[in-house]
Structure 1
């Protein structure tokens, strides 16, 4: 296991040394991301065996929850780069200021969006979903909404600890949450071990409990670890710091909107897939779950790149910044090639665990999800490239222009292309996913060029 204490390499070390340093930071983040994804995979697999209607409702409900969560998590991504830069510059006071105000912003945002989740049924019906599916989704969200604030706190603490090169604890705490979630799902969804059979609401309650437990564990670790006590993260937490508040907001809100544009593109595709049929929507949810698992690897490497680039920028070590960025992009590209082979070579092996083969609709869902995975293999290279470019740009705190690029590529190219291919040209769900690929190609190209042509690669 790579040590979380591995330090950023000097600029003149070999490429291999940069690779080792990135992996020392990035592999635990990848593990944490995969563990976090396992929470959603567990929900999907168990609800898929409980009922197709419940699975379809969970796809919609978790999609809406995630859209709002990803908007609020922009503050955590912002503070990751800001803390890394402050540490690189040796400014420990700024570390505390930025982290606290990121927590403030996340808590306020979480409280603000809870009413949207509580009364989501009319919104989902307005988007063309069946009344029964919308009602089930609202039932789920009225329980799940209590996990929004803890989930956003987790995101900020994860960023804080990552910038401190303390990524292994984040991974282990998340793994504990995976085991707890699986046990609670088994008990509360199906009514095992003497628990009531709660179905969809049981899955939501399990998620809330896991989020609260995870947030408490990370708070304890961040507050009491001897090496981190000097930052006094929670001391006089109630005192505002409006300068840092505004600074985190200015960087974080564009990041949240950028992530919202991409996530919203995929969730809009779920809405349009629901127009095609319930079985197609269930297949979409499974295929998207698998694609998201792979995406979590790239996101972990991207987060590590944000920290490495931020530290190099804070120390004004531009040679280290350039080499570290190139190494991060290369590693992400190599893993993308592996995932392409897996999606094309073993789709049924990947999809099978999500379905109960004894149910009559399972075969149709399997066939449709297999075709979607073939398209997902096509856009893996571009999805990995765009998320890495985003991570590098966040490391240099360039967030506003990437926001507009993402909005244009995903919503002016990706969604219209998907609609035309699916409904005008009659390609159905496969055409819808091909349209998403067009948006990712656009974003990957422009964002990569922006980073490598930016002024942050050289001393002023």
Structure 2
């Protein structure tokens, strides 16, 4: 498929769902792979391999997560170029995203020794677990260019409403990974190394499939028009957009890390209960992602075309479906939250404490709705400076809320502070939305 001017077809509910639902389904497959990885090494009959795969995966996920801006920034920039009918820039953005992804992956390979050393200093493990995890990491890090490059490809495909291709890509990688897990670990007896090789091959095969999905543009000369690809003004703009998203994401991550840190002061049971309840937020994020991505795509196309009315309709339609999702999730959590807790925790104490704080999870989806959807809208419009600044404001409000409520209310205060931060993000971005529309016009 070659990129042309943004589709001028009407903005309808069906179009929003066509973009969003494959992303929701794609997200639903993510926990399955983690369960299989754990399950196959669990058949080895020892605890150390399970711990090694778990800690190794967490370390690499944290390192890769720092480059998540590449996916978000690529959606916004590509959808705007598509809306403006700039075919050459659409192709150049794919090349830039791949160059950044491959460069970042190569940097991780070159810096693996100090990075992994620092990681184990922050999260120490037993000598046996650390030794196995090091072996796991030394294998998997060689697919870092593919893993990070896929962020760019995924964003580029989403910008063109090709989310079915994204779903196929995710299903392919997970399927290859699972099959190779079973073969390498259970049949060949490669243990932890087998899990690492399975993921390594799955990620490189995923990159190959992603490039095949981009074959239309790669058959044209635009993608290697180096004067366009390396245009200084466009590179500077891309760097600013990605930098703003990175700062916003780091602040958001810092909020959750601080949440877990403060929660640990209330003992192991409360810490475990909080960890269980945070999975409710993960479920919400997975459900909302599809509609936030739809907002990024459609808003970006409207901004690129300079059509204010399409921007407003794109924001309205996607936000409507986001609201439907959060209402459904709030009802599900209210009616079945206890059962979900029981599935995730076997300890009676943890179950009991988690139920005490479950009402916050019922409130979290509707209170976070505006923040989630406006993030997508602002990314699509590449109004990332506003995103960054409003995240700074929200982080300050969160810190002040923790300082006031934690001593007064304990863990209840901690949860209230987190919910207040959601509301603060939604309100602060909402205040900046009219300016976003004005700029688009």
Supply the distance in 1 between the matched residues of 2:262 and 2:194 (Cα, whole angstroms).
27
Supply the distance in 2 between the matched residues of 1:289 and 1:207 (Cα, whole angstroms).
24
Q: How many angstroms does 1:82 deviate by?
A: 1.6
Matched, 1:406 2:401: no
Q: Any idea what the Cα deviations from partners look like across 1:134-185, whole Å, max 9, x if unmatched?
A: 9489646555434432222111111111222222111012122233344455
Supply the distance in 2 between the matched residues of 1:138 and 1:233 (Cα, whole angstroms).
43
Determine helix, strand or coil for the equivalent of 1:346: helix
Give unpaired runs (5+ residues) of structure 1. Answer: none
| 1:434 alignment partner, one of 416, 433, 441 | 416
Supply the distance in 1 between the matched residues of 2:403 and 2:137 (Cα, whole angstroms).
28
| 2:247 alignment partner, one of 246, 257, 272 | 257
Supply the distance in 1 between the matched residues of 2:124 and 2:218 (Cα, whole angstroms).
52
Q: Which residue of 1 aligns with 2:189?
A: 195
Whether contact under 8 Å (2:93, 2:229) holds in the other structure is: no
Q: Pick closer, same or farther for the CA change 1:163–1:298 going to 2, 3 Å.
A: same
Q: Pick closer, same or farther for the CA change 1:46–1:390 going to 2, 3 Å.
A: farther
Q: How many angstroms does 1:457 deviate by?
A: 6.5
Whether contact under 8 Å (2:381, 2:436) holds in the other structure is: no
Whether contact under 8 Å (2:280, 2:361) holds in the other structure is: no
Q: Pick closer, same or farther for the CA change 1:187–1:289 going to 2, 3 Å.
A: farther
| 1:217 alignment partner, one of 209, 221, 225 | 209
Whether contact under 8 Å (2:40, 2:186) holds in the other structure is: no
Q: Which residue of 1 aligns with 2:230?
A: 241
Whether contact under 8 Å (2:89, 2:228) holds in the other structure is: no
Q: Pick closer, same or farther for the CA change 1:234–1:27 going to 2, 3 Å.
A: same
Q: Any idea what the Cα deviations from partners look like across 1:63-107, whole Å, max 9, x if unmatched?
A: 554443333121331221221111222110111112211221222
TM-score after normalising by structure 1: 0.79
Q: Which residue of 2 aligns with 1:153?
A: 149
Matched, 1:391 2:386: no
Q: Which residue of 2 aligns with 1:18?
A: 12
Q: How many angstroms does 1:42 deviate by?
A: 5.1
Q: How many angstroms does 1:387 deviate by?
A: 2.0
Whether contact under 8 Å (2:68, 2:151) holds in the other structure is: yes
Q: Pick closer, same or farther for the CA change 1:420–1:388 going to 2, 3 Å.
A: same
Q: Paired residues, what number?
A: 433
Q: Any idea what the Cα deviations from partners look like across 1:249-270, whole Å, max 9, x if unmatched?
A: 1211211221222133223434
Whether contact under 8 Å (1:80, 1:159) holds in the other structure is: yes
Q: Pick closer, same or farther for the CA change 1:317–1:426 going to 2, 3 Å.
A: closer
Alignment of 1:293-442 (within 5 A): 293-354=283-344, 362-371=347-356, 373-410=358-395, 412-414=396-398, 417-418=401-402, 424-425=407-408, 427-428=410-411, 431-442=413-424
Determine helix, strand or coil for the equivalent of 2:191: coil
Alignment of 1:277-292 (within 5 A): 284-292=274-282
Q: Any idea what the Cα deviations from partners look like across 1:387-445, whole Å, max 9, x if unmatched?
A: 210111122211112112213323x33356457655x45734x5544332222221111
- Alignment RMSD (CA, Å): 3.8
Determine helix, strand or coil for the equivalent of 2:214: helix
Q: Which residue of 1 aligns with 2:94?
A: 99
Give unpaired runs (5+ residues) of structure 2. Answer: none
Determine helix, strand or coil for the equivalent of 1:72: coil
Supply the distance in 2 between the matched residues of 1:282 and 1:136 (Cα, whole angstroms).
27
Q: Pick closer, same or farther for the CA change 1:56–1:365 going to 2, 3 Å.
A: farther
Supply the distance in 1 between the matched residues of 2:69 and 2:357 (Cα, whole angstroms).
29
Supply the distance in 1 between the matched residues of 2:183 and 2:40 (Cα, whole angstroms).
11
TM-score after normalising by structure 2: 0.82
Q: How many angstroms does 1:308 deviate by?
A: 0.6
Supply the distance in 2 between the matched residues of 1:271 and 1:136 (Cα, whole angstroms).
27
Q: Which residue of 2 aligns with 1:451?
A: 433
Q: Pick closer, same or farther for the CA change 1:418–1:27 going to 2, 3 Å.
A: same
Whether contact under 8 Å (2:402, 2:414) holds in the other structure is: yes
Q: Pick closer, same or farther for the CA change 1:308–1:239 going to 2, 3 Å.
A: closer
Alignment of 1:22-171 (within 5 A): 22-36=16-30, 38-40=32-34, 62=57, 64-114=59-109, 118-119=113-114, 123=118, 131-132=125-126, 135=130, 139=134, 141-171=137-167
Q: How many angstroms does 1:277 deviate by?
A: 5.7
Q: Pick closer, same or farther for the CA change 1:312–1:170 going to 2, 3 Å.
A: same
Determine helix, strand or coil for the equivalent of 2:187: coil
Supply the distance in 1 between the matched residues of 2:198 and 2:67 (Cα, whole angstroms).
22
Q: How many angstroms does 1:235 deviate by?
A: 4.7
Q: Any idea what the Cα deviations from partners look like across 1:348-367, whole Å, max 9, x if unmatched?
A: 43345546x5xxxx444444
Supply the distance in 1 between the matched residues of 2:113 and 2:351 (Cα, whole angstroms).
33
Determine helix, strand or coil for the equivalent of 1:397: coil
